[in-house]
Structure 1
């Protein structure tokens, strides 16, 4: 119901009063009960959605900035970018299994397997591995004797990882178009990150170090720990693929 501002007649709706013809005020409907509050609540923007949009915009700017100058800007990254570092690790961990899934989509044995087995489980495993690499890198910096926070080390690790996400993204595009050389691109993105990122992060903190423990040994320890974990993960992944595809299973 809408009340006429001139004669106070209760109108069912419309732009003009049914009794005196006065133009009715816009945007002031009188709604019975709690419907008015509900309608107002419905018109409010979703706070979580707006927050997600803002985070994505900020991350895109962060990503492009580091993609242009990964070393000069990455070496100055601090713990204020800890969340961006975690987002980078998540994206990096997701693209590799997704690329494999896309490339093998024409193979019936893979497509009969659940998405959970082919993508989600490897993604979670890869995420744990990459995060552990950042932890090993932090430990290497601490062993050298540098005072650095865990969040700062992870943030810088994620920053230096950005170019390798671009390499993985290229591999994903190649897999979409059926260019099977994408495997070499993914291998470059994987092993390039394993060998490059920890060393760059450690050296960025220890460049002017006066510690008796040489940073090179910290980097070597990081590699040893990372490849032990990588070997265990690779073994589990291969066994998972054998179970999924039924390789070596008896046809009888």
Structure 2
């Protein structure tokens, strides 16, 4: 008896199936049989791939949820950021990234809004298309990003140096966790400044970004060092070390402004002249 590989109909002889007309030769039977294997493998691959995707998505959602809850807690109780050091390392890194990116975007959007408003007026007077131009994003946002990152790095380095001078064991990872967590309110100010930057509000954008940078660079080092000196329970000159940390942070910020920020302002003037 011969069994049809397509419809499983049995017949005594013949080269073709009497029911469906399929080829019953041995070569056709050998070729048709393994064809199911790739389909099974493809189906198994299609079923296993979403599993990894869902796991990564769930982990990402869980991480965002944890950071969001932590940020809300710090916004309600800023002292919560001072309860842990290295345990807040990831939260500190995320906050620093949000702070720097939001600061850069707010100033870029403000400058671009003012530029397009000015070019729009010239476009209506001298021709079409001038108002559609935008300032180069990378040339403007990336230097601001680096400047703000240097300011924050200087503030953390100043805090770390003052604590080390008190002969206390603390890793730089712990400073990142504590300092990055305590500037969550100022990162939120920068996020709000993005909205005002898009709206072209010079006063509100510069007010929020200026206050956030002032407190982060000059005030927070003193707070972090003073809080740490209270926790160690040793008689140290906590006021002097706290003020010294802020003074060192100011010095680093001054050097950054003198060596980089002023030249960036000159480059900005050249870009404006090109347009």
Tell me the TM-score normalised to structure 1 length: 0.77
CA contact (8 A) 2:159 2:224 kept: yes
Structure whose CA Rg is larger: 2
The alpha-carbon distance between structure 1 residues 103 and 213, as it changes in their structure 2 partners (threshold 3 A), is same
Task: Report the CA distance between 1:31 and its aligned residue.
Answer: 5.2
Task: Report the CA distance between 1:98 and its aligned residue.
Answer: 0.8
Corresponding residue number in structure 1 for 2:252 = 229
Write the distance in 2 (CA, Å) between the matches of 1:177 and 1:150. 39
The alpha-carbon distance between structure 1 residues 10 and 105, as it changes in their structure 2 partners (threshold 3 A), is farther
SS at match of 1:148: coil
For residues 180-212 of structure 1, give each alpha carbon's deviation from its aligned partner in whole angstroms, at most 9, with x where no partner exists: 222112111110222321122111111265656
CA contact (8 A) 1:89 1:131 kept: no
Name whichever of 231-240 and 161-170 sits farther off. 231-240
Q: Among 76, 96, 117, which residue is 2:103 paired with?
A: 96
Write the distance in 2 (CA, Å) between the matches of 1:158 and 1:144. 21
Task: Report the CA distance between 1:246 and its aligned residue.
Answer: 0.9
**Structure 1 unaligned residues grouped into runs of 5+:** 1-7, 12-18, 20-29
Task: Report the CA distance between 1:176 and its aligned residue.
Answer: 2.2
CA contact (8 A) 1:79 1:155 kept: yes
Tell me the TM-score normalised to structure 2 length: 0.71
Q: Say if 2:240 is the partner of 1:217.
A: yes
CA contact (8 A) 1:102 1:175 kept: yes
Corresponding residue number in structure 2 for 1:169 = 191
Write the distance in 1 (CA, Å) between the matches of 2:46 and 2:184. 44
Q: Among 58, 68, 73, which residue is 1:60 paired with?
A: 68
Corresponding residue number in structure 2 for 1:79 = 86
**Structure 2 unaligned residues grouped into runs of 5+:** 8-19, 21-35, 120-132
User: What is the root-mean-square deviation in Å for CA atoms of aligned residues?
Assistant: 3.2
CA contact (8 A) 2:154 2:253 kept: no
Task: Report the CA distance between 1:227 and its aligned residue.
Answer: 1.8
Write the distance in 1 (CA, Å) between the matches of 2:142 and 2:48. 36
